[in-house]
Amino acid sequence: MEKTNNTEKKQVVVIGGGFAGLNFVKNLFHNKYYAVTVVDKNNYNYFTPLLYQVATSFLEPSSISYPFRKLFKKKDVSFRMAGLLRVDTAANKVYLSDGGELHYDVLVFAAGSKTNFFGNDGLRHSTFSLKGIDDALYMRNELIKTLERAVIEQDPIEKERLLTIVIAGGGPTGVEVAGMLAEMRKYILGHDYPELKNTPTEIYVVDGAPYLLAPMSDKTHKAAHKELEKLGVHVKLNTRVKSYENDQVHLSDGEVIEAKSLIWAAGVIANSFEGISAQSIGKGGRMITDAFNRVQGYENVYAIGDISIQFTDSAYPDGHPQLAQPAIQQGKSLAKNLLRMAKGQPLKPFKYFDRGDMAIIGRQFAVADLFKHKVHLGGLLGLLSWLFIHLVSLVNYNNRIKTLYNWAVAYTTRDQALRMIFRSGNRENRY
């Protein structure tokens, strides 16, 4: 059994280094009470809200990701690249995919969520999802390969099918992907692929709700809908994707869309792990926690971010939204409470402060509902707000400079030179 180096401190093991986990750890840098080990299947942190820009070739992966070992250098934090197999809460151990195990005094789950296919395994294997860098790169490669196939396709029906994309989900990810793809169609497709200049290309957004960006204000719903339609995107509301077979998207209203690409952005479900009691799991697979993020039924197991659900915040009786801000705030809150605990001070219950929601649609338009939807911004002001918030939220100065540069290039030229297919597992090209 392995332990972290400092045995005089209590051992804290954190599962996941996303928004919640990283902000938890940052608030325990150089503390004298806890030795912290972060366990993550990736060796880098990445900024989830901008994955779609990697997938659509407007940002490179290194712009939104940064190595954990660089982040934790000289910060008294250990890192372990592994997945979690199971937990033994009686023995206070976690068992890892690399064959090792770790002892803990405090266990913090910050492992986030995964794409929810609502039990439809067929969709899992035939659609694009966007929960990680690997997903984004796979989607980028496949979309570019589809365009290359369309160039040489002689059958006009098949060519049109290749150039039709359906996006399931009208939340921020779905809307932002649709806007970016519409911009590519308008400004890039005819230049990079002159053979496709006069070929019809269709983009659909399908959502079961009566409006886009459901958690946001009515003003934002209307603005987003209007902007997407202005970009030539077909918006189908009160409609769900039922199945996807043989390049046919079957909708709940009976319509069938012939499309080679289906992007799934219709929801998430919490990651789950063996060893946590079913009585501690709530809706969406999320671990039920008290006001201090302690998992129901356990004294030294905590959950923060998407994987946690709290019913103790009076403003959010059904739990907090699975977004970046609640995860960031819960990470900070739990770290401060553990320090209070170590000092014998009273703990403070978590209260979420809603700073607002925002989404960008295309190159020049964004919408933002700030401060519990009391302030609504659209157009240029919305765009500047979106750019600022996303830039300052990136984990490292290096990321901010790279992203700002890439955005400046994309904005001024309406283009990027990142549409390249990089294959893994193919060490030598053979012609």
Q: Please name the residue that has the structure tokens 């649709």.
A: 178
Mean of the pLDDT values across residues 310-337? Answer: 94
176 is catalytic: yes
324: closest CA among 310, 304, 343? 304
Please give the model's pTM, rounded to 2 decimal places: 0.91
Query: pLDDT per residue over 77-130, tens digit each?
Result: 999 999 999 999 999 999 999 999 999 999 999 999 999 998 887 888 899 999
pLDDT computed for residue 2 by the predictor: 46
DSSP annotation of 36 reads E
Task: Catalogue all structural domains in the chain, each as residue range(s) with its CATH number.
Answer: 10-41+82-115+269-342 (3.50.50.60), 121-266+356-413 (3.50.50.100)
Residue 154 and residue 148: Cα distance in Å, rounded? 13
Which of 153, 160, 176, 183 is the catalytic position?
176
- Conformation bin of residue 118: beta by default, left when phi > 0, alpha when psi is -120 to 50: left
* Predicted confidence band of residue 428 (pLDDT cuts 50, 70, 90): low
DSSP 3: -
- The pLDDT-based confidence of 292 (bands split at 50, 70, 90) is very high
- At position 200, the amino acid (one-letter code) is P
